[in-house]
Structure 1
Amino acid sequence: MKKLFKYCLVALMLFSVSISAQEKDVVIENIIKEANENSQLERLAHEMLDVIGPRLVGTPQMKHAHDWAVAEFKKWGVDARNEKYGEWRGWERGITHIDMIYPRVQTLKGTQLAWNPSTSKKGVTAELTVLPTVKNAEEFKKWLPNVKGKFVMVDMKQLTGRPDYNWEEFATEESFEKMKKEREAQTKAWRENIRNTGYNSRSIIEALEKAGAAGIVSSYWSKGFGANKIFSARTKKIPSVDLELEDYGMLYRLVESGHKPQIKVVAESKELGAVPTFNTIAEIKGTEKPEEYIILSAHFDSWDGGTGATDNGTGSLVMMEAVRLLKKYYPNPKRTILVGLWGSEEQGLNGSRAFVEDHPEIVKNIQALFNQDNGTGRVVNLSGQGFLHSYDFLGRWLAAVPNDITKHIETTFPGTPGRGGSDYASFIAAGAPAFSLSSLSWSYWNYTWHTNRDTYDKIVFDDVRSNAILTAILAYMASEDEQSTPKDKIVLPVSKRTGKQMEWPTPRSPERKGMLEDK
């Protein structure tokens, strides 16, 4: 009897295991195992960021990145192409060298701003000056001839180079409050003085160039140690460089104390004329409903202060790794799975807006779009974006994702439609169910968003790997869903600002002739 009991117990256990195994989804299990044991993220990140580098629209590096992505997709057996949607001013960064040569010699930390014309190989050497304190536009107009032949410093000298969190940790409460009040007063006075000139912080640069300035020196501090935002130049002929806070502050103090500092700027770059701009599109064709689409979405371009690691290298890596996992373990999806690596997001969602405008037949049949574009962190927020039934279908798909991923995610249903900020908004405006996989910060805004510190070493690969698993499973579940996604929208509330009922965003056309004089 004891033996019989043991045999029955073993048989029952085996039966239970068998039932449990049947309940597990083999595709999902394989996706998780492959992502954790054979991740390609580190290799892809190295090739994209260290080898190719930043991906500024209109540069050879951007085209190199598009071609590299197509080649990677094809290695995995995924059809891919570069789809032209417009042209941009072609430009290539060269050597930037900025040196103080008087009252002593010191190499400075900074860079030429994007799309700035090249200096000669000899560079430009000139004294520095700062903007004066003026009462009105007439007073500024009288001062303006003083800039002729000089580099003009156009940003405020920061009161402190320490981030607030550093003050909060080490300063006395009284000292911290005193600093903040002084900084607030200084910032208010600076802004008021700019208004008094009759210009704003952008238009004043054009006025300085017209007045004969030798160059523009800026410092857009990102409020973190060593971090500056790096964008584009606003001058047409003279050099524009951004200096890190420490060097900028030193030069500013030297000007204020009457030491008449001089700098030499060598900023070599190449003008390449009009060059084509692209989106990279990859595709796994659906077998049962090929005319319905799941889109894995990320912008591929970046600014070029760093190498665009977390904006948006990480989002692009997530989508590339997710489709690799799907192709390997879900090669015959019910619905067509597309990857969209969009161009020129940074200048106004241009790549995704072009795709929406050029492919209405795809947009009207989108089952779901998943976009990731705010840093290296694990996904912590998912909104229904104003789609009435988003709780039902997103809830079904999320239920298949491991708890160690979903436990970090806060959901908002039905939410409200996104109006900008990243490429999912281009699709929402067209009525397509598009969702932002919003990530944990990891000090994104201060340290990596558009900064000189946005590099490979800032990637947290465990979080990116988690996001790739999440994206692959959501795409799989959306593809397998028996129902097509309902696109009913909520009735939007009354705006507190205007007192009028809010309206759903509407599609906007892209810029297809970027920074080209003859449009």
Structure 2
Amino acid sequence: MHLSRNLRTWLCGSSLLIIVTTQAQIGRSVAQQPDPVVTSIVREATQNSQLERLAFELLDVVGPRLVGTPGMNKANEWAVKTFQSWGIPAENQQFGEWRGWERGISHIDMTYPRLKTLAGTQLAWSPSTKGKAIEGEVITLPDFKNAAEFQQWLPAVKGKYVLTSMYQPTGRPDHNWEQYARQESFARMKSERDSLVKAFDARFRAIGLSANSLPGKLEEAGAAGIVSSFWSREFGANKIFGARTQRVPSVDISLEDYGLLYRLAENGMAPKIKVETSSKDLGNVPSFNTIAQIKGTEFPDEYVILSAHLDSWEGGSGATDNGTGTLAMMEVARVLKAVFPNPKRTILVGLWGSEEQGLNGSRAFVLDNPAITEKTQAVFNLDNGTGRVEQINGSGFVHAYDFLGRWLQAAPTQITKDIKTTFPGSPGGGGSDHASFIAAGVPAFMLSSLSWGYFTNTWHTNLDTYDKLIFEDLRYNVILTAVLAYKAAQEGALVDRERRVLPTTPDGNRGEWPAIRQPRRTGVGY
């Protein structure tokens, strides 16, 4: 019989201790004495799952949840009402404010040399054309030797739409080339693309601007609008972020339509487009975290936190970033309320706002609630797609294996058998909301999911929609997280928070634990 082995490398000070255990040894006692609460969790999560209904309500009805938009407000209100319908007290807690913006229709049409409606949308916080469809010629950025040449050219943008993204030599993703192209053809394409990237980057260095600062300069010079195409290197996927203009529209269009305009412009055809955007600037509006709690019976002032961010970008409906984390954590709370309504510790659900602009909601929560932060047993965070959890890192806490390993043992083997763990691991520096708690010394863990093409297909793209969800994997995550939360809530005492000594950096400096960072409590765009 082949026994899989979990190897734990333990760093404590300068000592190195290696502990080897086998899955058979770990699971033996659990198999002999099945936990009735775990059995009930599995039954409720599988036989009475609400994930599909919740996904429909959040993703199809509410839709995308950009900070500062009515969609985000609707999501906060929906989450509170949903928790309350399950008998779980919930509220929206304001942590700041943001520039309010409401999306309107976008029309982007090529009018010359032929008529064609282009696939694209206005970027978040893009200014409106105020009810008009504004037509103008499309131009590309020339090569500039220096900033003086750029300044000399700049008046030429007046009344024009400027293409500001690099022209892509192919619209086929690399995996498609790898499958069908000859090796030498694939190599030539990559070489050509690398040359274009270098030339494009050199152009910005020559003029002393970045891709983020260029739109503002073009706007000041009288450009009619900014046209970009942030291809995600996957069929049909573009990343949709925020506008960098204050008065003229900024739109992102598909790779194929962007390439069409670029080739026409470069070949002297002087293409024209007509753009209409009808968004609304709403002034500053409040930003909220949605907080729900299942109150503890023995240690009500000690906490287990279920963490996910509720906000999203606006390219799709925010399905996998982070609708999936939100839906799973809400479902975990529902399941626990149904089968284990009286935990020893309080189980708190934090659905954070403005994560996409720098973990603002969770950073504010950590600073605004020191009593909770001081007595949080553990934080479990979901925020990287629709796949089942495949990795858990000990986040740099020396004793993480002792408690997290024990809690994992309680989950069904079918759920945990493919999960890889790293202990003590390293602290997360800022990729998602668990990092806000790690910085404060709270044992917080990212439950990292299988990719399902996350970073190219759905992460911040126009394809991040309901149809990409894998509900079987989400149910696995609900069961896993519910078991971890249950065990953490029932633990006899608060766990040891000792932090590992971090290794030296490549430049010889001693590694430092991530520092607590201030949130942005007011903002515009990014």
TM-score (norm 2): 0.93
Q: Does 1:502 align with 2:511?
A: yes
Counting only pairs closer than 5 Å after superposition, residues 313-462 of structure 1 correspond to structure 2 as 313-462=323-472
Matching residue of 1:294? 304
Deviations 1:443-498 (CA, angstroms, capped at 9, x unpaired): 000010000000000001111110011000000011111132110111111111x3
Structure 1 residue 135: deviation in Å? 1.3
The one-letter amino acid of 2:515's match is: T
Please give the per-residue CA displacement for 1:46-75, whole angstroms capped at 9, x wherever unaligned. 100000000000001101001100111011
> Does the 8 Å contact 1:385/1:434 carry over to 2?
yes
Q: How many residues align?
A: 498
Aligned partner (choices 492, 496, 499) of residue 489 of structure 1: 499
Map of 2:133 onto structure 1 = 123
Match of 1:250 among 250, 253, 260: 260
Map residues 54-453 of structure 1 onto 2, 5 A cutoff. Answer: 54-453=64-463
Aligned-pair distance for 1:516? Answer: 8.9
User: Offset at 1:21?
Assistant: 10
Residue 15 of structure 1 corresponds to none
SS of 1:381's equivalent in the other structure is strand
State the shift of 1:198 in Å.
Answer: 2.4
Question: In 2, Cα distance between the equivalents of 1:337 and 1:418?
Answer: 23
Give the match's secondary structure for 2:274.
strand
Q: 1:62 to 1:439 in 2, by over 3 A?
A: same
Asked if the contact 2:242/2:525 (under 8 Å) is kept, the reply is no
Task: Please state whether the residue corresponding to 1:185 is helix, strand or coil.
Answer: helix
The answer as to whether partners of 2:30 and 2:409 remain within 8 angstroms in 1 is no
Instruction: Specify the alignment match of 1:466 in structure 2.
Output: 476
- Maintained 8 Å contact 2:435/2:444: yes
Listed as ranges, the matches of 1:27-46 within 5 Å are 27-46=37-56
2:15 paired residue number = none
Q: Is the 8 A contact 2:303 2:377 kept in 1?
A: yes
Cα distance in 1 between the residues matched to 2:227 and 2:32: 66
Q: Does 1:515 align with 2:524?
A: yes
Structure 1 stretches (4+) deviating beyond 3 angstroms? 19-22
Aligned to 1:10: none
Assess if the C-alpha contact under 8 Å between 2:124 and 2:525 holds in 1: no
Counterpart code for 2:347: I
Code of the residue aligned with 2:513 in structure 1: it is W
Q: Distance in 1 between matches of 2:430 and 2:397?
A: 17
Contact 1:128 1:255 in 2 (8 A): yes
d(CA) in 2 for partners of 1:87, 1:183: 41
CA distance in 1, matches of 2:30, 2:480: 22
Residue 26, structure 1, aligned to residue 40, structure 2: no
The one-letter amino acid of 1:26's match is: P
1:79 deviates by: 0.7
SS in 2 for 1:241: strand
Q: Which amino acid aligns with 1:317?
A: L
Q: Quick one: distance in 1 between partners of 2:57 and 2:502?
A: 44
* Structure-2 change in CA distance of 1:516 and 1:373 (3 Å): closer
Whole-Å separation in 2 of the counterparts to 1:25 and 1:334: 17
| CA drift at 1:120 | 2.1
| Residue 130 of structure 1: how far off its partner (Å) | 0.4
8 Å CA contact 2:320–2:465 kept in 1: the answer is yes
- Could you list the per-position Cα deviations for residues 120-159 of structure 1 after superposition, in whole angstroms to 9, with x for gaps in the alignment? 2222110000000121111111111110110000011100
What CA distance in whole angstroms lies between the structure 2 residues aligned with 1:173 and 1:365? Answer: 57
Question: Match of 1:94, SS?
Answer: coil
Higher mean alpha-carbon deviation, 302-311 vs 19-28, is at 19-28
Contact 2:88 2:294 in 1 (8 A): yes
The question of whether the paired residues in 2 share the 8 Å contact of 1:274 and 1:516 is answered with: no
The sequence identity of aligned pairs, in percent, is 62
1:288 Cα deviation after fit? 0.8
User: Match for 2:124: what amino acid?
Assistant: A
Q: Distance in 1 between matches of 2:346 and 2:406?
A: 20
Letter in 2 for 1:279: N
2:315 is aligned with what amino acid?
G
Q: Mark the CA change 1:516 to 1:305 in structure 2 (over 3 Å): closer, same or farther.
A: closer
Alpha-carbon deviation of 1:95? 0.3
| Structure whose alpha-carbon radius of gyration is higher | 1
Task: Tell me if the contact between 1:384 and 1:412 (Cα under 8 Å) persists in the aligned partners.
Answer: yes
Letter in 2 for 1:38: N
SS at match of 1:514: coil
Letter aligned with residue 414 of structure 2:
D
For residues 120 and 291 of structure 1, what CA distance do their matches in structure 2 show? 52
RMSD over aligned Cα, in angstroms?
1.4
Amino acid aligned to 1:506: A
